[in-house]
A and B are shown apart, each in its own frame.
Chain A
Amino acid sequence: MTKFTYTQKQDTRSGFGAGLAELGRINPDVVALCADLVGSLKMQDFIDENPDRFFQVGIAEANMMGIAAGLTIGGKIPFTGTFANFSTGRVYDQIRQSIAYSGKNVKICASHAGLTLGEDGATHQILEDIGMMKMLPHMTVINPCDYNQTKAATIAIAEHQGPVYLRFGRPKVPIFTPEDQKFEIGKALHLIEGSDVTIFATGHLVWEAIVAEEELAKEGISVEVINIHTIKPLDVEAVLASVSKTGCVVTAEEHQMNGGLGDSIAQTLALHHPAPLEMVAVNDSFGESGTPDELMKKYGIDAENIAKAVRKVLKRK
């Protein structure tokens, strides 16, 4: 079994920027919009190479979602870029009516998701975005785990017909998945095989799950780690196959417990294969200013907390 290591850390938003630049070179229908956060979203390469296919919208996210919906009429594939907070909560009705209900081929690309944007604090640390987006009919929700996977996901969603929410972040996190991987929407990835418990993790918490697995292995616990990069549509088959083998589950995500990946897994288990479940997520709370590491520890979403949840769920088996 592969054990995962890394030599480099990078922010997932840079993976998005690299993927978007690549799309600019290979797909003439791809256009990009940004609401005054070009630097934060790493969109400059795309803009330099394709100035005519970039639309600066200014600080007007509601308008950006409508413009993007309109650009699809005539065959363009718009990628919108702003922070996750302003990509979802601020513009929920615009996304709901002009994009999701209208079946528009818009890719909503959202950076600075979750607590780990850090020092800016709770006004910007959205922890409800996955929930809001997954509730919308027609919406695909993707939360890749590292730079390489974010780049691959960015390229892959251009080929998918329909609205997509792509979530990534600001902190530098380990790069442990292959360069130039093929990204398959909706296909869970088995990273580590195990028999006692399954950890379903999403986003950069996948790395935390890998770290937790190493610790737990020393205690003789056999942990299966699965990367759920696509929260909707959920790979139900993979979830059920794994839980049938291990019999208990821990979920891990940088999101509210309400409405996140854990919620989706809980629903799947309750409907098809009831099993003990512990959720590592933020528990009905806003965030606060701090460093990413401090925040992950304080809000209980780091490797140590994942390991604790595993020990707890095993006792409930």
Chain B
Amino acid sequence: MSKKNIEELEQIASQVRRDIVRMVHGASSGHPGGSLGCTDFLVALYFNLMERKDHFDPDGKNEDIFFLSNGHISPVWYSVLARAGYFDVAELATFRKINSRLQGHPATEEGLPGIRVASGSLGQGLSVACGAAQAKKLNKDNHLVYILMGDGEIEEGQVWEAAMYAAHHKVDNLIATIDVNGQQIDGPTEEVMSLGDLRAKWEAFGWTVMESEGNDMASIVKSMEEAKTLSGKGKPVMNLMHTEMGYGVDFMVGTHKWHGIAPNDEQLASALSQLNETLGDY
């Protein structure tokens, strides 16, 4: 796969955002807010940062692999996977519908290319990513494992079990990212369950911690290149990525209200008017 430049990445991201709002509208359900906020990150990963095969290899041997732990932002992942060529973009129209491979939350059961483990019940992905990273070490495979979690998600205790484990076992071929958008279903994280000083917490658990801006393509690519240089040094790497939920659609930005609801026809039209159709709608 050829690496896309920043301008190309931005164009892909615009199309992915169109896909997201259209998918969620088409299903009359789904999670647009976090999907839009993480669009730039996933586009950068799949079209620039990751060294990956063109076809889907479930074992992911000798390539970088990605896990999405906050599985509810499946729309962005599905769109990116389709746009990256793992399956036909036309299939995006089946999102959340009966007999679809595009389940509400990512699953392996229906065999959708690109998915290696189910996620949605929160807090489990970091453990899985650690295991996959250790399998790479056993296989003498020098590629990286990427994992994305939500900031609300780290309220789950299992995340901290995995945090302790990764440092103890020196899982340094792992680059974890937390989508720090400060929102969760019931409101701002500060009101629902304060996350405190995230940098200090992860550093105290033995991780190398960096921060990045998640809605600026050039900045994401630069930060993640830096993350790669931090890997392989005996510590797992944590990227605290600041994003705005709903980024790219003005009435969805910065609020938890669009965490898990679908736009109506009028709202869809308004959203699409803000997003260029760069690669052709599915």
Contacts and interface: CB of A to CB of B under 8 A. Distances in A.
Interface stretch (B27-35, B58-66, B80-88, B240-248): B58-66
Contacts of A63: 127, 130, 158, 161-162, 165
Contacts of B60: 73-74
Nearest to A35: B161
B169 interface: yes
Contacts of B59: 73-75
Interface string B97-130: 0000000000111000000111111001111111
Contacts of B184: none
Given A70-B135, A73-B135, A74-B60, A103 B108 contact: yes
B127 A62 contact: yes
A98 B118 contact: yes
A75 B60 CA distance: 10
Contacts of B65: 73
A73 B161 contact: no
28 contacts: A53-B138, A55-B169, A58-B165, A63-B130, A63-B165, A64-B127, A66-B126, A66-B162, A67-B130, A67-B134, A68-B131, A71-B131, A71-B134, A72-B135, A73-B59, A73-B116, A74-B61, A74-B138, A74-B139, A75-B59, A75-B139, A93-B124, A97-B118, A97-B119, A98-B118, A102-B108, A102-B109, A103-B109
A53 B137 CA distance: 11
Nearest to B116: A73
Interface string B10-44: 00000000000000000000000000000000000
Given A52-B138, A53-B138, A67-B165, 7 more contacts: A66-B124, A70-B127, A70-B129, A70-B132, A71-B134, A72-B135, A73-B116
B133 interface: yes
A109 to B, nearest CB: 16
Contacts of B168: 58
A104 B77 CA distance: 21
A106 to B, nearest CB: 10
A76 interface: yes
A219 to B, nearest CB: 52
Contacts of B138: 31, 52-53, 74, 76
B128 A70 contact: yes
Contacts of A69: 117, 127-128, 131
Nearest to B139: A74
Contacts of B165: 57-58, 60, 63, 67
Interface of A: 31, 52-53, 55, 57-58, 60, 62-76, 78, 93-94, 96-98, 101-104
Interface string B132-159: 1111101101000000000000000110
Contacts of A57: 165
B50 interface: no
B164 interface: yes
A155 to B, nearest CB: 21
A78 B130 CA distance: 14
Nearest to B67: A70
Given A73-B60, A74-B136, A93 B121 contact: yes
Contacts of B164: 58, 60
Given A63-B158, A101-B118, A74 B129 contact: no
Given A62-B158, A103-B108, A70 B118 contact: no
A73 B127 contact: no
Nearest to A70: B131
- Nearest 9 A/B pairs, CB to CB: A70-B131, A66-B127, A74-B135, A63-B161, A60-B161, A67-B131, A70-B132, A70-B128, A71-B131
A31 B161 CA distance: 20
B117 A98 contact: yes
Contacts of A60: 158, 161, 164-165
A94 B158 contact: yes
A75 B129 CA distance: 14
Contacts of A53: 138
